[in-house]
C-alpha cells in the first residue's frame, strides 16, 4: 500500500511505504495497537509534557528552550520520512535495518535534533539575522516551522525527492527551507514592539505579532490538505506536479488569511491563533499520526477527509476546555515569572512543542517502542 496515488509521483512518503516499513512492522512481530492502547499512549506523553513544563525552570523554558524548539520541529521533519526518508539513521532510507535495535535511530537522530537546536539559535542570534532568541526568536521560528511543513507536506520535498539520494534530500531540503525562511523574514516589521527600528528589524509590510497569527492559521490548512493528514492532498494530487502544489499553497494562504482576519472580529488574537488554530493543528496531528484517522480509515477521500476534519475541529474545542484546567498551575508559574504568555499561548506550546514534538520523535525515530512501529497512511483512494 502506498501513501500517495499516481497523481503524486516521487512523494517521499510513497517511497516510505515501498522501501522498508513492511520490514519494520515485521520486526515488531505483534498486532497493531488498539484504540485503548493508543489513548493510553497519548495520556503518557501528555503527563510527561506537563511535568516538563511544570518542573523545568520557567524563565529558562520560555526564553531559551521554547524559542530553540522551533529548530527541533524543523529538524524533526527534515530527518523524517517526509523529507530525507529517515536518513541518516531511521527507516526506511536510513542506516537502520530490520532486526536492529530501535535505540540506533532513536538515540542517533535525537542527538542530531539536539545539535540543530543548539546550532540554529546560535546562527540566528550571531550571524543572520542576528536577532535576540527571546522574544524575536518566536517570530522567526514560526516562519521556519511554517515553511518546513509547507515544503514537506505540500511539496513532498519536490523536486529533490524524485532524483536525489536520501542525504541530498535531507541536506538540500533543509537548506531550501532555511533560504525561504530568510526571504520571508523580510516581510516582517517589528512595529508595536520594543524592538521596532532595531538593526535586525526587516521593516517589511506585516507586523510581527499579526503575521505570527496568520502563519498559525495557514498551518491549519497546510495540514488539512497535507500529504499525510486529514485530506491527504485531495483534490490537489489530481492536478499533478507542480500545479497541484501551487494550487494547494494558494488555498492554504487564502483560507488561513480568511480564518485569521474573520476570527479577529469576534475573538481575541491569542484565543484565535493559539487556542483555536493551535488546538486544531494538534488534533490533526494526534488523529493522523497517533490514531491513524480512526475510525475513518475505511473510507476513501474525500469522505475520509470530511469526517476527519469535522472530528478534529470538534476535538479541538474539547481540548481547549480541558487545557483550561490542566494548564492553570503552569500559567501561574508563567505569571509569577512576569512573562507575557496567557493561557492560550501556554496551551499551544504544551500541545505542539511538547506533546506533538515528543510523540513524533518517538514515532519516527524510536519506532514507537514498545508498541509496534506505525506504517504509512492508507492510500487516499
- Residue-wise pLDDT for 156-172, tens only, equals 999 998 789 999 999 99
Q: For residue 378, is it within any domain?
A: no
pLDDT tens-digit profile of 371-381?
A: 999 888 889 98
Q: What is the mean pLDDT of residues 47-68?
A: 98
Question: Residue 339: pLDDT band by 50, 70, 90 thresholds?
Answer: very high
> Which is higher by pLDDT, 24 or 198?
198
Query: Cβ–Cβ contacts within 10 Å for residue 187, how many?
Result: 13
Inter-CA distances, 361 with 54, 76, 135, 216, 298, Å: 21, 7, 26, 21, 27
At 16 the pLDDT is 44
At 376 the pLDDT is 84
Sign of the CA dihedral with 13 first, then 227, 89, and 165 last: positive
Please tell me the pTM assigned to this model: 0.93
Q: For residue 23, is it within any domain?
A: yes
At 14 the pLDDT is 46
Residue 3 has pLDDT above 60, yes or no: no
Domains in the chain, number:
1
**374's grid cell:** 506505525
Q: For residue 72, is it within any domain?
A: yes
Residue 126 has pLDDT above 90, yes or no: yes
Q: For residue 251, is it within any domain?
A: yes
Q: How far apart are CA 223 and CA 280, in angstroms?
A: 10
Q: For residue 197, is it within any domain?
A: yes
pLDDT tens-digit profile of 175-210?
A: 999 999 999 999 999 999 999 999 999 999 999 999
Kindly state the helix (H) or strand (E) to which residue 261 belongs, with its residue range.
helix 243-263
At 30 the pLDDT is 60
Question: Which residues lie below 8 Å from residue 170, measured CB to CB, with a gap of 6+?
Answer: 78, 79, 83, 84, 85, 87, 88
Query: Do the strands 206-207 and 188-189 form a parallel or antiparallel pair, or are they unpaired?
Result: parallel
Q: For residue 160, is it within any domain?
A: yes
Domain extent at residue 160? 12-364
Burial annotation 154-171 (CB, 10 A radius, 16+ → b, else e): bbbbbebbeebebeebbb
Give which of 296, 298, 177, 284 is closest to 227, Cα–Cα. Answer: 284
Q: For residue 374, is it within any domain?
A: no
Q: How far apart are CA 15 and CA 355, in angstroms?
A: 27
The fraction of the chain above a pLDDT of 70, given in percent, is 92
State the first-to-last Cα distance of the chain, in angstroms, to the nearest integer. 11
At 162 the pLDDT is 78
Question: Which residues lie below 8 Å from residue 171, measured CB to CB, with a gap of 6+?
Answer: none
> Which range, of 25-29, 53-57, 275-279, averages the lowest pLDDT?
25-29
Q: For residue 340, is it within any domain?
A: yes
Sign of the CA dihedral with 85 first, then 87, 92, and 93 last: positive
| Average pLDDT, rounded, for the chain | 93
At 24 the pLDDT is 54
Q: What is the mean pLDDT of residues 80-84?
A: 96
Residue 59 has pLDDT above 80, yes or no: yes
Kindly state the helix (H) or strand (E) to which residue 189 belongs, with its residue range.
strand 188-189
Amino acid at each position: 500500500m502506498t501513501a500517495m496515488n499516481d497523481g503524486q509521483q516521487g512523494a517521499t512518503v510513497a517511497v516510505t511505504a515501498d522501501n522498508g516499513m513492511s520490514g519494520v512492522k515485521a520486526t515488531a512481530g505483534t498486532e497493531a495497537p488498539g484504540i485503548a492502547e493508543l489513548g493510553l499512549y497519548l495520556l503518557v506523553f501528555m503527563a510527561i509534557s506537563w511535568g516538563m513544563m511544570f518542573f523545568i525552570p520557567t524563565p529558562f523554558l520560555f526564553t531559551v528552550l521554547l524559542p530553540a524548539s522551533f529548530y527541533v520541529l524543523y529538524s524533526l521533519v527534515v530527518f523524517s520520512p517526509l523529507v530525507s526518508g529517515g536518513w541518516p539513521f531511521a527507516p526506511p532510507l536510513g542506516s537502520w535495518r530490520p532486526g536492529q535495535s530501535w535505540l540506533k535511530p532513536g538515540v542517533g537522530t535525537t542527538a542530531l535534533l539536539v545539535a540543530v537546536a543548539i546550532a540554529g539559535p546560535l546562527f540566528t542570534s550571531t550571524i543572520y539575522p542576528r536577532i535576540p532568541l527571546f522574544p524575536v526568536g518566536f517570530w522567526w521560528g514560526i516562519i521556519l516551522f511554517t515553511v518546513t511543513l509547507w515544503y514537506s507536506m505540500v511539496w513532498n520535498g519536490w523536486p529533490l525527492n524524485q532524483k536525489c539520494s536520501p542525504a541530498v534530500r535531507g541536506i538540500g531540503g533543509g537548506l531550501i527551507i532555511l533560504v525561504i525562511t530568510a526571504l520571508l523574514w523580510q516581510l516582517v516589521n517589528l512595529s508595536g514592539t520594543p524592538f521596532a527600528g532595531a538593526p535586525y528589524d526587516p521593516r517589511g509590510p506585516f507586523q510581527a505579532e499579526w503575521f505570527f497569527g496568520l502563519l498559525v492559521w495557514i498551518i491549519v490548512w497546510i495540514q488539512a490538505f497535507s500529504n499525510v493528514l486529514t485530506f491527504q492532498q485531495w483534490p490537489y494530487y489530481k492536478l499533478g506536479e507542480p500545479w497541484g502544489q501551487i494550487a494547494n499553497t494558494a488555498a492554504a494562504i487564502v483560507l488561513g488569511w480568511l480564518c485569521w482576519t474573520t476570527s479577529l472580529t469576534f475573538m481575541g488574537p491569542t484565543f484565535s491563533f493559539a487556542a483555536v488554530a493551535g488546538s486544531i493543528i494538534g488534533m490533526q496531528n494526534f488523529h493522523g499520526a497517533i490514531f491513524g484517522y480512526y475510525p475513518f480509515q475505511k473510507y476513501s477521500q474525500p469522505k475520509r477527509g470530511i469526517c476527519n476534519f469535522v472530528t478534529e475541529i470538534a476535538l479541538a474545542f474539547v481540548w481547549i476546555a480541558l487545557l483550561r484546567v490542566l494548564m492553570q498551575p503552569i500559567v501561574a508559574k508563567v505569571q509569577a515569572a512576569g512573562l507575557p504568555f496567557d493561557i492560550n499561548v501556554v496551551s499551544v506550546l504544551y500541545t505542539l512543542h511538547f506533546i506533538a514534538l515528543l510523540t513524533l520523535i518517538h514515532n519516527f525515530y524510536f519506532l514507537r517502542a514498545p508498541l509496534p512501529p506505525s506504517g504509512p497512511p492508507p492510500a487516499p483512494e
